[in-house]
Structure 1
Amino acid sequence: MAYDEGLAHRLGDALGPLPGIGTKKMFGSLVFMWNGNMLVGVLGPDLIARVGPEAQADALAQPGARVFDFTGRPMNGWVVVDGGAVAEDTALEDWIARCREFVEALPPK
C-alpha cells in the first residue's frame, strides 16, 4: 500500500525543526521517528498517531479517529486518523502535539 506523499511532506515540514527527527519506511508506510521512537506516520491516505495507552480513549473520541488494527490485532496506544480529518494544518498540528506529549516522555533509543 502506498502512502500519501502530500501528507508525508506536510508532516516533514511540521516536524522538521524538531531535533532528533528521522523517517523510516515500514510495511508500505512512512513513519517519523523522534529520538529513535515512533511518533507519527502515514499509512495510505491516513495519519498514524502514537498517543499512548492513557490518551487512546480521548484520541478515539476525536473526529476521524479509529483503532489502529493494521495487523489484525489492535495496537494499544495508537490510533489511525482519516486523512480528511487532518486536511487543515491546525488539525494536523493538534495530532502532532498529542503524539509529542506521549513520545517526549519515552527514553531515546
Structure 2
Amino acid sequence: MAFDEDNAQRIRTFLQYKEAGFFEKKMFGGLVFMVDNKMCCGTQLDKQTGENLLLCRIDDNAYADAIERDDIIPMSSSERPMKNYIFVTENGWQRNKDLEFWLQLCLDFNPLAKASKKK
C-alpha cells in the first residue's frame, strides 16, 4: 500500500479535531478513512507519477463543481467515473485550509452516503 504517512496524519488530525468516529482501512492502493462504517476520504500515491492524491467522497453538487477544476481527477472503475468520488492532486490540498475544505465536504456528505453492502 502506497501512501504518505505525513499526509495520512494530517487527515487523522482533522478527523480527530472534528470528533468524527473513524477507522482506517487499506484499500484502493492506499489508505481510506471510514466514518460511520462508510468510506469518507483517503490518501494514496499515484502509481505513475508518485504524486500524493486525496480521495474524497462528496455530494453531487460539490462533485459537479469540483470536476471542473484543474486539480481534480475523477475516480474511475473500468473506464467509467465513480459517482461522488474524486482525487484531488497535491496542488489542491497542500495547504491546511485546502485540506480542511475537502475533508469538510467529505464529512458533510457522509451522513447521506450509502454504506457498502456487507459480504
TM-score (norm 1): 0.86
Larger Rg: 2
Unmatched 5+ stretches in structure 2: 46-51
Shift of 1:65: 1.1
Q: Which has the higher strand share?
A: 2
Unaligned runs of 5+ in 1: none
Q: Which residue of 2 aligns with 1:29?
A: 30
1:53-68 equivalences in 2 (<5 Å): 53-68=60-75
- Alignment partners' CA distance in 1, 2:115 and 2:80: 26
Q: Over aligned residue pairs, what C-alpha RMSD do you find? A: 2.1
Pairwise CA distance, 1:54: 3.7
Question: Partner of 2:80: helix, strand, or coil?
Answer: coil
Give runs of ≥4 in structure 1 deviating > 4 Å.
Answer: none
User: 2:3 & 2:78 partners in 1: Cα distance?
Assistant: 17
Alignment of 1:21-100 (within 5 A): 21-44=22-45, 45-69=52-76, 71-100=78-107
Shift of 1:70: 5.4
Which residue pairs with 2:48 in the alignment?
none
Aligned length: 109
State the TM-score, normalized to the length of structure 2.
0.79
Counterpart of 2:49 in structure 1 is none
Q: Is this contact kept in 2: 1:8–1:42, CA < 8 A? A: yes
Displacement of 1:30: 0.3
**Which range is displaced more, 17-26 or 39-48?**
17-26
Higher relative contact order structure (alpha carbons within 8 Å, sequence separation ≥ 6): 1
Mean alpha-carbon deviation: is it higher for 23-32 or for 11-20? 11-20
Give the secondary-structure state (helix, strand or coil) at the position aligned to 2:83.
Answer: coil
Which deviates more, 88-97 or 70-79? 70-79
Percent identity over paired residues: 31
Q: Secondary structure at the match of 2:63?
A: helix
- Comparing 79-88 and 99-108, the one that deviates more: 99-108
